[in-house]
Structure 1
Amino acid sequence: MSILNIVKYPAEVLEQKCDSVTVFDKRLVRLITNMYDTMLEADGVGLAAPQIGIAKRIAIVEADEKYGKIEMINPEIIELAGEQTGPEGCLSFPGLYGEVSRPNYVKIRAQNRKGKWYELEAKGFLARAIQHEMDHLNGVLFTSKVIRYYEENELEVEG
């Protein structure tokens, strides 16, 4: 287990479109495991490879008990529907939170750590977390979607 350094804004890698993963080996498995440990240590619900300085299409999310840890390699969105608005933060923007609108439903296609393709449907908070991490893989930051920023005391009341 290794805790990795989380890259903070304005690091350039955070605004780059990431490259596809083409090699599925032990190094990838170790990287995903370390990303997961890093996310837990930072008390996050998701982490994308650019947030640890690696411009590859890898992200993990663990937002609810039903799905547990979701590893997304080379993910793509198949379908979006509905709308939800709520608070978001980001491990690359410590202490910054804003209200963001996103689709309430997402269906994705992605590869697992062995390269096998799978599909996943998510709603609500999990859909929000998946979309947030997938945005990172395209160099899109949540701050570009914020409707309004929260004051620190507002989030404690709402969250």
Structure 2
Amino acid sequence: MAIRPIVPYPHAALATHCEPVTDFGPALAELVQDLLETMRAAPGVGITAAHIGVLQRVFVLELKPGEVRTYVNPEILDASSETMKHMEGSVSMPGFTEEVERPSKVEVRFQDVSGQWHDEQTEGFHAICIQHEIDQLNGMFWLKRLSKLKRDRLIRKWEKSHR
């Protein structure tokens, strides 16, 4: 188990659609543990395999200390018409956040590390985080959810801070 390097924005992995996980063996369990350790070190509350350059459909969330959730091959089945706004950011763009509006409730289907399927209904911050991470697995970095004006302004600030 290891803390792995996080790829920085605008790394190509962050704009790439991740492939489904088909092998539910020891390599997946090790990847999940590495993701958890990397996310905690970042720090963050969620991280996808794409954030460390691994293009597989897996992410972990730890919204409360010790309550780790692993999502493999997740898909959103349904989303509410009600929305909520929340400040979002990324471990690949630390220190930069902006308000994003998303559905306030989602139903998600996913597999666990052993390959078992689960359906889950979530709301509030948990639902926001699931949508954010699934977007990333689909190659949609969170900035794409912003207006062009806000996105361009944030990217300029990011680039200026990394010269």
The TM-score with structure 1 as length reference comes to 0.89
Look up the equivalent residue of 1:94 and give its one-letter code.
P
In structure 2, the partner of 1:75 is 74
Cα deviation 1:35-93 (Å, max 9, x = unaligned)? 0011111120000011000111011111146x921101000101101200121111011
Alignment of 1:97-116 (within 5 A): 97-116=97-116
Once superposed, which parts of structure 1, at least 4 consecutive aligned residues long, lie more than 6 Å away?
none
Q: Aligned partners of 2:74 and 2:84: how far apart in 1?
A: 21
Q: How does 1:31-110 map to 2 (within 5 A)?
A: 31-64=31-64, 68-81=67-80, 82-110=82-110
- Unaligned residue ranges in structure 2 (runs of 5+): 155-163
Query: Aligned to 2:108, what secondary structure does the other structure show?
Result: strand
Q: Partner residue of 2:143? A: 143
1:28 corresponds to which letter in structure 2?
L
Match of 1:123 in 2: 123
Q: Counterparts of 1:43 and 1:11 in 2: how far apart (Å)? A: 19
How many corresponding residue pairs? Answer: 150
Q: Specify which structure has the higher proportion of helix.
A: 2
Q: Which amino acid aligns with 2:25?
A: D
Q: How many Å apart are 1:121 and its aligned residue?
A: 1.4
| Alpha-carbon separation, structure 1, partners of 2:62 and 2:93 | 19
Q: What is the Cα deviation at residue 119 of structure 1?
A: 1.0
Task: Quote the Cα distance in structure 1 between the aligned partners of 2:6 and 2:103.
Answer: 27
In percent, how many aligned pairs have the same letter?
A: 35
Is the Cα contact below 8 Å between 1:64 and 1:126 reproduced in 2?
no
Amino acid at match of 1:78: L
Matched residue type, 1:68: E
Q: Could you tell me the TM-score, scaled by structure 2's length?
A: 0.87
